[in-house]
Chains A and B, each alone.
Chain A
Amino acid sequence: MGDLVRVRRHRFAGRHDRAATTEPRWVGLLLLATTVVFLGLFLLLPLVTVFTEALRKGAGAYFASFGDPAALAAIRLTLTVAAIAVPLNLVFGVTAAWAIAKFEFRGKSFVTTLIDVPLAVSPVISGAIYVLLFGLQGLLGPWLSAHGLQVIFAVPGIVIATVFVTVPFIARELIPLMQEQGIEDEEAALTLGASGWQTFRRVTLPNVKWALLYGVILCNARAMGEFGAVSVVSGHIRGKTNTMPLQVEILYNEYNFVAAFAVASLLALLALVTLALKTLVERLSAAAVTLDSGLPAAEEI
């Protein structure tokens, strides 16, 4: 108990524990208690609720929920959508980061802001804009319909809405890092005769691999979990255009609480795996930074 609360050793070198920079013991305990209670009530309890509600009628009922073809179709659709949206945004994130981080050009802040826009837009609006664009009463709807193309209320519409809400995730992880790293490494490689493509693969990509992975993990979590935008463009056809979050809503509205929370528990597991991976990547990249630089970080000067 005596060691329970003590000053945390600061991460950076050259700094030591100092009594003058801590609060009295009782304040520390109070802060700690507040943190634990607040996080417990606000974060952990909802998570626990998902699993207890899912298992309320026992493991049998829980697993039976996944025998429903509609639930399986929802899982399949969610995986498909993520498998399309994440690679698209991966390609976009890398190209955008290359252009923005490695070059100076006018209008750069405009492009950067544009990348951030989906974060600031309500998910409902993200869905609605595609209804206005691709819907039968919208701009392109009549043309699409005449050519037998179904975008909205079908898989393509769900993919596009998902792409919209996940545009920023990978680019935002890469841009600051690549800006910080500058272009010296790449210039050196080019001087040594590497082609542009080789430079990218051999120099740039290894430098940003952890940030890239981090972005992909976040992007994937959001792609699989998006509700508002997808709900507007889905059409809710059973076994066809319902993603897992939509299936949760439908089951919940059908009095089928066990099944709703069972599907929700899969999504919660996904969230936990995401958090675990994220923590792992953070730790690995921190380790890589200390190994790579060897010296005290140059940026500190």
Chain B
Amino acid sequence: MAFLARRHSVLPGFGPTLGFSFLYLSLVVLIPLSLLFFRSADLGWGGFWNVITSPRVVAACRLSFGAAFAGAAVNAVCGLVVAWTLVRYRFPGQRLLDAVIDLPFALPTAVSGIALTTLYAPTGWLGRPLDAIGLKGAFSPLGVTIALTFIGLPFVVRTLQPALEDLDLDQEEAAAVLGASRWRTLRRIVLPAITPALLTGFALAFARGLGEYGSVVFISGNMPMRTEIAPLLIVAKLEQYDYAGAAAIAVLLLVASFLLLLTINLLQRWSGRRHMRGA
């Protein structure tokens, strides 16, 4: 641990706390995760490539990425409206709505899963009207997207809210005084200022959607090639005793998640600089 050389400080307890934290993280996170990479290495590059380019894996990844992307996009639009309304307007029941934003986060995913399935099945409250206009809610890619939209909503709204609260109203006012229309002000002043937060929220929702399992397995119908998501395919591979294959798909998802984490960190650094420059 020589690389952990610290700067001089009078506070005590650096060694033990960092030592314990690092040990804990190593035992719980680092070692088990790195095992996954070793396990997929059993396959060799060729085998790994064969697994992740097999049609079923490609289809599952396409669905996982596509539905997570669509869900995050819906959230970016609707979440922006929701965040804007919650920050800029006052109305009866506002606090309740604000508190309820975190519901998808607090509600166990299995509960979300059976509730959404019941709701969007052809016999459900929302499934029936959808069915009437020829759309299938549950047991279709649309159902997967709905579940991922549900799961991702708090990430977008909660990232946008502080950014919207920090907006400098003077700038908006100045723009209005100078004769800009409201729409133009929003587009030219507000939107650029909140773009980093919006993108961060989008990326967080996307990352969460990519790995989501509990709420999706109930509503998707789990049809290979059609409504099977990548995390479910990991489970399916495990059930077929294909540990290396399962590890390969897991590694693929992990790499995607890490890239997203990296993007999010860069975005946050970007928005941090923006704030500093603005101050």
The answer to whether residues A20 and B11 also contact, given A4-B91, A132-B39 and a CB cut-off of 8 A, is no
The answer to whether residues A18 and B173 also contact, given A7-B88, A228-B109 and a CB cut-off of 8 A, is yes
Say how far B216's CB is from chain A's closest CB, in angstroms: 10
CB pair B24–A92 under 8 Å, yes or no, is yes
CB pair B261–A113 under 8 Å, yes or no, is yes
A257-B100 Cα distance, complex, nearest whole Å = 25
CB pair A228–B214 under 8 Å, yes or no, is yes
Residue of A at shortest CB range from B102? Answer: A275
CB pair A99–B125 under 8 Å, yes or no, is no
Interface string of A250-291 (1 = CB under 8 A from B): 001000000011001001101110111011000000000000
Say how far B173's CB is from chain A's closest CB, in angstroms: 5
Counting chain A CB atoms within 10 Å of each CB, the highest count among B32, B86, B113 belongs to: B32
Binds A, one of B2-10, B43-51, B193-201, B220-228: B2-10
Residue B135, interface by CB 8 Å: no
Residues of A within 8 A of B22 (CB): 111
Binds B, one of A41-49, A57-65, A141-149, A205-213: A41-49
Residue A297, interface by CB 8 Å: no
CB pair B17–A36 under 8 Å, yes or no, is no
Residue of A at shortest CB range from B13? Answer: A196
Say how far B154's CB is from chain A's closest CB, in angstroms: 9
Residue A124, interface by CB 8 Å: yes
Residues of A within 8 A of B35 (CB): 129, 132-133, 139
CB pair A271–B20 under 8 Å, yes or no, is no
B contact face: mostly helix, strand, loop, or mixed: helix
Of B10, B25, B112, B265, the contact of A115 (CB 8 Å cutoff): B25
A199-B7 Cα distance, complex, nearest whole Å = 20
Of B28, B86, B150, B169, the contact of A35 (CB 8 Å cutoff): B86
CB pair B103–A275 under 8 Å, yes or no, is yes
A212-B21 Cα distance, complex, nearest whole Å = 17
Of B10, B31, B101, the contact of A43 (CB 8 Å cutoff): B101
The answer to whether residues A260 and B81 also contact, given A43-B101, A228-B109 and a CB cut-off of 8 A, is no
Of B11, B109, B149, B177, the contact of A225 (CB 8 Å cutoff): B109
Residue B60, interface by CB 8 Å: no
Tier of interface size on chain A: 35 or more
CB pair A99–B261 under 8 Å, yes or no, is no
Of B10, B97, B109, the contact of A187 (CB 8 Å cutoff): B10
Residues of B within 8 A of A139 (CB): 35
Residue of B at shortest CB range from A110? Answer: B3
Of A31, A122, A164, the contact of B211 (CB 8 Å cutoff): A122
Residue B110, interface by CB 8 Å: yes
Residues of A within 8 A of B169 (CB): 10, 15, 18, 21
CB pair A31–B254 under 8 Å, yes or no, is no
Residue B160, interface by CB 8 Å: no
CB pair B25–A167 under 8 Å, yes or no, is yes
Residues of A within 8 A of B118 (CB): 49, 53
CB pair B254–A125 under 8 Å, yes or no, is yes
A296-B72 Cα distance, complex, nearest whole Å = 37
CB pair B6–A120 under 8 Å, yes or no, is no
Residue of A at shortest CB range from B172? Answer: A21
CB pair B213–A38 under 8 Å, yes or no, is no
A103-B11 Cα distance, complex, nearest whole Å = 8
CB pair A102–B125 under 8 Å, yes or no, is no
A271-B108 Cα distance, complex, nearest whole Å = 8
Residues of A within 8 A of B5 (CB): 105-106
Interface residues of B in 58-92 (CB under 8 A from A): 78, 81-82, 84-92
Residue A177, interface by CB 8 Å: no
Residue B12, interface by CB 8 Å: yes
Say how far B109's CB is from chain A's closest CB, in angstroms: 5
CB pair B29–A43 under 8 Å, yes or no, is no
Residues of A within 8 A of B91 (CB): 4-5, 32
CB pair A129–B33 under 8 Å, yes or no, is yes
Say how far A84's CB is from chain B's closest CB, in angstroms: 13
Interface residues of A in 12-42 (CB under 8 A from B): 15, 18, 20-24, 27-28, 31-32, 34-36, 38-39, 41-42
4 closest pairs, A vs B, by CB?
Answer: A225-B108, A122-B211, A20-B176, A196-B12
Binding site for A on B (CB under 8 A): 3-7, 9-14, 16-18, 20-22, 24-25, 28-33, 35-36, 39, 78, 81-82, 84-92, 95, 97-116, 118-119, 124-126, 149-150, 153, 165, 169, 172-173, 176-177, 182, 207, 210-214, 218, 230-232, 234-235, 238, 243, 246-247, 250, 253-254, 257-258, 260-261, 265
Binding site for B on A (CB under 8 A): 4-11, 15, 18, 20-24, 27-28, 31-32, 34-36, 38-39, 41-47, 49-50, 53, 92, 95-96, 98-100, 102-107, 111, 113-125, 128-133, 137, 139, 160, 163-164, 167, 183, 186-187, 190, 196, 199-200, 218, 221, 224-228, 231-232, 244-246, 248-249, 252, 260-261, 264, 267-268, 270-272, 274-276, 278-279
